[in-house]
Amino acid sequence: MVLMNSDEPWLTQTQQQVWRRWLLMNDRLTAALSRDMQRGSDLSLQDFGVLVHLTDVPDGRVRIAELAIALNWERSRLSHHITRMERRGLVRREECSQDGRGAFAAITTTGRTAIEGAAPSHACTVRRLVFDDLTDEELQTLGVITDKVLARLET
Amino acid sequence: MVLMNSDEPWLTQTQQQVWRRWLLMNDRLTAALSRDMQRGSDLSLQDFGVLVHLTDVPDGRVRIAELAIALNWERSRLSHHITRMERRGLVRREECSQDGRGAFAAITTTGRTAIEGAAPSHACTVRRLVFDDLTDEELQTLGVITDKVLARLET
DNA sequence: TAAGATTGACGGCTCAATCTTA
DNA sequence: TAAGATTGAGCCGTCAATCTTA
């Protein structure tokens, strides 16, 4: 058994540096991707996320609660967001015949056009900003790190 | 010279998987850190970021424009935020004798107490969720990846 | 004219309360 | 009672307009 060095709260010098750069990088990356998509397609990253899930699925419609889980969003957040997207014609609410309480969110033709216009450029930007410079080994290590943190978050 | 494979927009299978997990991890990690700090100290991560910069500096005060750059925030965002933090007694605005247009943000005693209460537990959480499980090599690779993406963002 | 800073309007997110059906 | 979903209040962030001093 190792010493319980977690009682000592502070980060090492290296950890601190990496942590600060990491936070900065996340901020800037999100801002860049967001700007890019907004300019190219008049969609927010959030809109894009919703539309991705709706195109992944038969009939282009999903139960709203299920969508909230997939997006890892609060239900009320999704409800508000769908209202706004509905106003812009990107999605449509449909009632559920199986369960009178429930509802579907369905992608519209306008929504499909929007995501088809946005996806290639977005993928390209992600590649350029994140992946193109990484070696195979770095990519793999990034996957390992991501999984380790996710595992920690689940405990 | 390599083939211009960036013309092909899509991500490889592996890249896609890593990218999705990465986004999920970021969401959850931010949520966890935010929850943790709010419960422990009644500060948001944003409040914490502001206070960190104010404690890093002589007299505990910084020119507002300078602070905005350090935080990578819009000026108006910072101005609104300072207003809210001022209302809660965490910081104070002070006028600048050198430049009549300018102003300082200064940490108060209440602010100092708040950050001193929050910092150890926050550091501990960051260690536990992010760093404790990483090998030295993974930590180093994470630093390299972060720097590579930041470099890309600057071009 | 420009720089430092603030303001108000508006869209986005969270929380607690509410409505409807199971 | 509980589950699916919505609503409204209030805080947060962005954008464009504004105010003051350099």
Q: Find the farthest-apart pair of alpha carbons in chain A and give their distance in angstroms, rounded.
A: 60
Tens-digit pLDDT profile for residues A105-151: 999 999 999 999 999 999 999 999 999 999 999 999 999 999 999 99
Tens-digit pLDDT profile for residues A20-56: 999 999 999 999 999 999 999 999 999 999 999 999 9
From chain B residues 51-80, the ones with a CB under 8 A of any chain A CB are: 72
Whether A4 has a pLDDT exceeding 70, the answer reads: no
User: CB B25 to CB A150 under 8 A?
Assistant: yes
Q: Chain B: give the shortest CA distance to residue A95, in Å.
A: 29
Whether A7 has a pLDDT exceeding 80, the answer reads: no
What does the pLDDT profile of chain B (155 residues) look like in tens digits?
A: 444 455 677 999 999 999 999 999 999 999 999 999 999 999 999 999 999 999 999 999 999 999 999 999 999 999 999 999 999 999 999 999 999 999 999 999 999 999 999 999 999 999 999 999 999 999 999 999 999 999 999 98
pLDDT attached to residue A155: 87
Quick one: A144 exposed, middle or buried, by C-beta within 10 A (0-12, 13-18, 19+)? Answer: middle
pLDDT attached to residue B9: 77
Whether A81 has a pLDDT exceeding 70, the answer reads: yes
pLDDT attached to residue B128: 96
Interface test with A, best of B8, B145, B150 (most A CBs within 10 A): B145
Alpha carbon distances (Å) from B132 to A64, B27, B78, B101? 37, 20, 33, 47
Q: Nearest 10 degrees: CA dihedral of A82, A86, A90, A92?
A: 90
Long-range contacts of residues A33-37, Cβ cutoff 8 Å, at least 24 apart: A33/A122, A33/A125, A33/A126, A33/A129, A36/A121, A36/A122, A36/A125, A37/A118, A37/A121, A37/A122
User: CB B143 to CB A14 under 8 A?
Assistant: yes
> Which nt sits closest to B102, CA to C1'?
C4
> Which nt sits closest to B96, CA to C1'?
C4
pLDDT attached to residue B15: 98
